[in-house]
Structure 1
Amino acid sequence: MSFINGPVFNRVIVPLSLVSSVCGGILLLREKKGGKKCPNTNRVDGKVVVITGANSGIGKETAKEVAKRGATVILGCRHMGKCEDAAVEIRRLSENKHVVCRFLNLADLNSVKEFAETIQKELPHIDVLVNNAGVMKPRPPKTTFKTDDGFERQFGVNHLGHFLLTNLLLEKLTNGEEPGRVINITSDAYKQGSIDLENIDKSDVEGEERLNQLYYQSKLANVLFTDSLNRRSKSEYNEKLVSNCIHPGIVDTNISQYSTVPFYVAPMYSLFKPFKLLTAMKTPLQGAQTSIHLATDPSLTHRSGWYYSDCESIAPTCDLCDGDLADQLWKKCEEWTDLAERRNKIKPKNQNNIATSDVKKISQKQTSS
């Protein structure tokens, strides 16, 4: 009996070959559907990049890449244990010690103010702010529907927290030789969004549809915010700020970690997880390529007010949204965040070099271990 017709070949070799072929096909499909890679490899030595929600997903991959290119990276996260783990990994992979963690809870506007105050004290300048953190359809028992300040959580975290943070850091973003860059992570889902400033909780909608509409609304708010920042940069900041927003694609991240599904759907939902590889979902690294591109490419120094996807500018934000609505939303957000009062309370002093001070702490820990 020849080996090809034998039991070992039929029972072992053939199945393994089929599995290998399927896995290879899946990987090729994901690579093809993963979008374009960042087209530049520029170093960003000496640049300071602040990233929210950087302990996982797109934020972590963005932090990892800009750290490899020499940037000082501040990870703004709510879970400090996970943040420290991510920072250790990024330092090791990038061989860059200038990666530090700072506590930031975007669902608590006082926490946003405290984070901004800390950053203002420690940094003379910020080159890039990546507003990356986000939630999708959160609900009990995993979390509360409202933020600590009483706002619907998706609007509060995805937009309102970032609105306040960006405004509190504008002084540091606009005081350099080159314009500071603000990168807002949004989604094509904004196209389905609508904003009623008198009914921001969408109380007239019920159930799953309400959660969907609230998510779309928060993503539309990201686009409106980007457009407003761009126009204000021209009128108030002498074009010392560039703001763009990104659709990263459908990415396999934990953005829905605080979502729950009905008990009768849970088994189907669990069975679906292993088949994510068969979908067109991007990996976090693939989803991060556009934010890496906008954070590092010198040709984009003055490129502002655009909506990007797959490392390409799709359209100016002014063509995608209602400028009057953007202005109205800005004014409301100033009220909702008590922006003027919180800005006046920040008093930067005793400024330290964040990179130098934290490298000493990191070195001491490494030595002791």
Structure 2
Amino acid sequence: RAAGSARAVPMAAANLIEEAISVGAPAYNAGEIGLCAEIYAATASQLLESCRQELDAQVALQLEVTLQACNSAQKPLANEIAWSFRRAFDAQLERERLGRAGRGLPEVAEVVAQAISEGAPAYNRGDVVGCVRIYTATAQALLERGDLDSARRAGLASALRQAEASREAGAGARALRRALDALVGGPAGDSGMLLQAAVGKASRGGALIHDFVRNTGLDVRAGAVNDTVMGGRSRSRVGPSEQGLLFEGEVTRQGGGGFASVRFQALDAGALQRALAGGEGVAFTVRLVEGCQAWKFQLHEGYDSTSWQADFVASAAGAEQRVPFARLLPSWRGRMRGPAGLTPTALQNISSFGFMLSFLSDDGQRNASFQDGPFALRVLCVEVY
């Protein structure tokens, strides 16, 4: 199929999308997040070039905004890019299957909801410029439509001028958000209820726990916990670096120990628990700098209480790792305390999370991949999916 073909072929967009997902999804699941994002970006460009007449206006807008983000100075993480494209692809496939009839939500409300579902998380993680870019593209696209009355068009145009003239990106983002809210009646009333429903439908992403590169997300306090608590001789330290947080040291079985760990205590445990409650698991990006590849991710109910843990293999590539709650095993002092699966009761007690290098695997058995010696792990981002 020629990328530049101008001939309209029925369902060509769906075919391109399904082909992209058939290649991109396996790449993502294999840890090749960057490759998946590249595949989806190439497909998005091809869709906009050769199949635009088939695309829903909202889908086309999201593809354009995500492609712009790929080329911006504040380029999002590959995982964010991949999921933004995937949400747009899924939305287009759904629209082609079901048609516009019966969707139940006004088109303008859905466009606004999609913008907010992308812009608000960007704003909250500190990417205010990215938020402004999303809201600006949405406002400009809405002004090109013919179904807005003069008052709403004037409100959008005024917000765009204010955002362009503002010296502070946050002020521009807030002005544009108010204008978008006004299109659907704001947070109250029937239109506001439609907007809230649309946002709920459009938002499929998780919650940021902490981005250690941008230093955004929940407030956490980092600390090292080593086998010295039981007479071991491992040592470690944790501190900020130019690219995330660096946890490094030396782990050894000498002295009866054999582990080193870093814990991130949430200053607001309730906020951490609420974030976890909204997802299916934890996604994190770490980069192995030196040493053993066999690590464990952990959620802790408290000091010297049950830890919920899962093994993972760290790599120098820094690919995103995903640990579903159903895979976490309960452990206390290296001993199993029950079957896999984080329980609702345990989730309500989680107060910290972290990473451990240990001679024991997540099920309490000796880890054949464990290696003594120096180690270093760079922690970039932890979020809920």
Q: TM (normalized to structure 2)?
A: 0.27
Q: TM (normalized to structure 1)?
A: 0.27
| Structure with the larger helix share | 1
| Structure with the larger strand share | 2
Higher relative contact order (CA 8 A, sep 6+): 1
Greater Rg by CA: 2
